[in-house]
Amino acid sequence: MSLAGKRILLIIAGGIAAYKSLDLIRRLREQGAGVRPIMTSAAQEFITPLAVGALTASHVYTDLFSREDEQDVGHIRLARDCDLVVVAPATADLMAKIASGLANDLASTVLLASDKPILLIPAMNPVMWANAATQRNVTTLREDGIHFLGPMQGEMAESGEKGVGRMAEPLEILARIDALLSADKPLAGRRAIVTSGPTHEPIDPVRYIANRSSGKQGHAIAAALARLGADVTLVSGPVTIPDPQGVRTIHVERADEMRDAVLGTLPADIAVMVAAVADWRVAASAEQKIKKQPGEPPAPLQLTENPDILKTVGHHEKRPRLVIGFAAETENVELNGKAKLERKGADLILANDVSPETGIMGGDRNSVRLIEAAHTESWPDLSKEEVAERLALWIAARLSGERS
């Protein structure tokens, strides 16, 4: 990674997560980027202009009506004299201003006057993030072409609450900035949803139904799409591998949670449904651990079908332009893949043989067949990272019109 010569306008809004902006500045400058900072009045309650100025080696801009800074219409110069505007942290208040076109302080005025790409790094209480008003603003901003990273799931520094609201880490932000500013980013401006891993459907508090999935392929695809510039949301079931950098990750357990997270992320340009979702769940899971009774047969489990996430997305009114699914098969791989393509309303199915002897489930390699309505293509045995890179390039070519 190198950001040598890149000019970053960093807007720091108020919130306890503002302390992370100091580390972000340090890492940006290590990569050769120049950083020009703007601080809102609320940000100055958490970190000082002195600290920000020392790390950036730059003047810190704080006041829209500064006689010194505005002699040459400074807010317009700030808005245009950069390669990328980064808002970290981006608060609910500032996002509401941007979405509404308000400009009553230096930060909001610069954002309204900028013709450069804008990357928002939200950070707030989980309830604030989930609030309908915030989500309406996020939808508006995404539709306006503004890029997002996060918020992430975790524990909040100020309250100890857990949920989606934590600011992305500086290294994650750095990777996203690099993706946006690198020259060859054919998916820049595209939004992608990827699902990954298994789902766990509870039988009782200690037992569950699941599929054998490590999440390696789905996570690799999310990372590959992000490297090509896409704004990626990864909806992950329970896995033991780390979240990919530069990607917003939503963690879920059950199939219905995964469906709700996916639908909540629409609209999007790309949907890649990789997750090995359990087909069935127990109709009514037990509140207490089910005990074995001596001499008695096991209690029967009444199963009910889980939501079909790929089919739901493939036929949704907000259907992405490109819907891709995976078919994990143990026999008749191509035949079953073609049937799934039509049944689910997908544009492409990646079918693979997951028989135990292949080692694909949980392993590091994969061998897939790309199945379209009028064409089938077999790829050789590849690492899951190589499959992800090839698929990301395939997607970029399809969306650019280079493939029929």
366 is catalytic: no
Q: How far apart are CA 188 and CA 181, in angstroms?
A: 9
- Given a cut of 80, whether residue 374 has pLDDT beyond it is yes
Residue with structure tokens 């996430």?
Answer: 309
Residue 196 and residue 231 share a domain: yes
Residue 216 or 65, more confident:
216
Residue 199 and residue 177 share a domain: no
For residue range 281-297, list pLDDT tens digits in order.
999 999 999 888 888 88
Element (DSSP H or E) covering residue 56 = helix 49-56
Give the CATH number for residue 345: 3.40.50.10300
The pairing of strands 84-90 and 7-12 is parallel
Highest averaged pLDDT of the listed ranges 97-101, 185-189, 333-337, 360-364: 97-101
Give the model's pLDDT for residue 383.
84
Mark which of 181, 207, 234 sits at the end of a domain: 181
The pairing of strands 162-166 and 152-155 is antiparallel
For residue range 212-255, list pLDDT tens digits in order.
889 999 999 999 999 888 999 999 999 999 888 788 899 999 99
Residue 182 or 60, more confident:
60
- If one counts every other C-beta atom within 10 angstroms of the C-beta of residue 130, the result is 14
- Given a cut of 60, whether residue 71 has pLDDT beyond it is no
Q: Report which DSSP code applies to 285.
A: -
* Residue 259 falls inside a structural domain: yes
Q: How confident is the model at residue 401 (pLDDT cuts 50, 70, 90)?
A: low
- Given a cut of 60, whether residue 392 has pLDDT beyond it is yes
Residue 285 and residue 393 share a domain: yes
Residue 196 and residue 72 share a domain: no
Q: How far apart are CA 309 and CA 254, in angstroms?
A: 12
The mean per-residue pLDDT over the stretch 287-314 comes to 91
Residue 25 and residue 158 share a domain: yes
What angle (nearest 5°) sits at the alpha carbon of residue 35, between those of residues 168 and 173? Answer: 15
Q: Give me the count of residues in the chain.
A: 404
- Given a cut of 90, whether residue 309 has pLDDT beyond it is yes
Give the model's pLDDT for residue 332.
82
Nearest CA among 80, 106, 100, 103 for reference residue 12: 106
- Given a cut of 80, whether residue 352 has pLDDT beyond it is yes
Q: Return binding residues.
A: 279, 289, 307-310, 326, 340, 344
* Residue 404 falls inside a structural domain: no
Q: How confident is the model at residue 380 (pLDDT cuts 50, 70, 90)?
A: confident
What angle (nearest 5°) sits at the alpha carbon of residue 213, between those of residues 338 and 171? Answer: 110
- Given a cut of 90, whether residue 33 has pLDDT beyond it is yes
- Given a cut of 80, whether residue 156 has pLDDT beyond it is no
Residue numbers of the domain that contains 369:
191-399
Give the model's pLDDT for residue 64.
81
The mean per-residue pLDDT over the stretch 98-104 comes to 93
Q: Please state the domain count of the chain.
A: 2
Q: Which of 137, 211, 306, 352 is catalytic?
A: 211
Mark which of 162, 181, 200 sits at the end of a domain: 181
- Given a cut of 70, whether residue 363 has pLDDT beyond it is yes
Q: How far apart are CA 325 and CA 17, in angstroms?
A: 37
Give the model's pLDDT for residue 43.
95
- If one counts every other C-beta atom within 10 angstroms of the C-beta of residue 92, the result is 21
pLDDT above 70 covers a percentage of the chain that reads: 94
